[in-house]
Amino acid sequence: MSRTRRAATLALVAVAAAALPASAHVTVNPSTAEQGGFAKLSFRVPTEKDDASTTRLEVNLPADHPVASVSVKPHAGWTFTVTKTTLAKPIQSDDGAVTEAVTKILWSGGRIAPGEFDEFDVSVGPLPTDTDELVFKTVQGYSDGSVVRWIDLRTPGGTEPEHPAPVLHLVAKAGSTPSPSASAAAATPAPNAVSVSAADVRGAKRTARTGVALGAAALALAVVGLARRRRA
């Protein structure tokens, strides 16, 4: 094989490899919600194995940022159990102090066949206001007894880990007061910004009116001159 043909073949192989789909992960959807609000979260679970089905799903809620209210939607063919943990610092809610919170949800008894996926729904809230993300470390169990632990954390600027944990990103509620740093940034003019005063605007308007008047006078003189030439 010539060097040119070999290079072309390698290029085609590289393109084909890049086109292959990435491995499916356990994810939480939507991936973004408002701080302080309620959200319906769906944990999407694909079966990646070709010779075993998913039969168990364990989702761990972060104990360092607990959520006062957690409700699990019944799922046909599956049963679920929840684990609650006593909080070192109670959560203040509209109904008073909450001293324990759900920290684990376990679904079992169902089956997700190879090549299929399913979703498990949970309603949570109010979402914390003192963090910008919630990490849900998840364990997926298979019918052959094996497990996949979706618990790895992403590092800023780093490559995606092999088994990333589902992450819910939290954003400030619309209309909320911006942080002091954001307010300072908005009040600081850009380095190349030009300051224009009211006097500058009035001067520009006078200049524009003068230009229009001179243009009109010149046009009138031209018309008079053209009429005189025609009469002559």
**Mean pLDDT, to the nearest integer, of 173-180?**
61
List the domain range (segments joined by +) for residue 52.
Answer: 21-173
**Number of folded domains that form the chain:** 1
24: region left, alpha or beta (phi > 0 left; psi from -120 to 50 alpha): beta
Q: What is the pLDDT of residues 125-163, one digit of tens each?
A: 999 999 999 999 999 999 999 999 999 998 888 788 999
Q: Which residue has the tokens 């209309």?
A: 175
Q: What is the pLDDT of residues 80-117, one digit of tens each?
A: 999 999 998 888 877 778 899 999 999 999 999 999 99
Specify if 195 maps to a domain: no
Per-residue pLDDT at 198 exceeds 90: no
Specify if 182 maps to a domain: no
Contacts of residue 95, defined as CB under 8 A and 6 or more positions apart, other chains included, come to: none
Specify if 194 maps to a domain: no
Q: What is the pLDDT of residues 31-71, one digit of tens each?
A: 999 999 999 999 999 999 999 999 999 999 999 999 999 99
Cβ atoms of 150 and 139 closer than 8 Å: yes
Q: 121: burial class by Cβ within 10 Å (0-12, 13-18, 19+)?
A: middle
Q: Look at residue 14 in the predicted model and tell me its pLDDT.
A: 40
CATH of the domain at 38: 2.60.40.2230
Specify if 48 maps to a domain: yes
d(CA 60, CA 203): 67
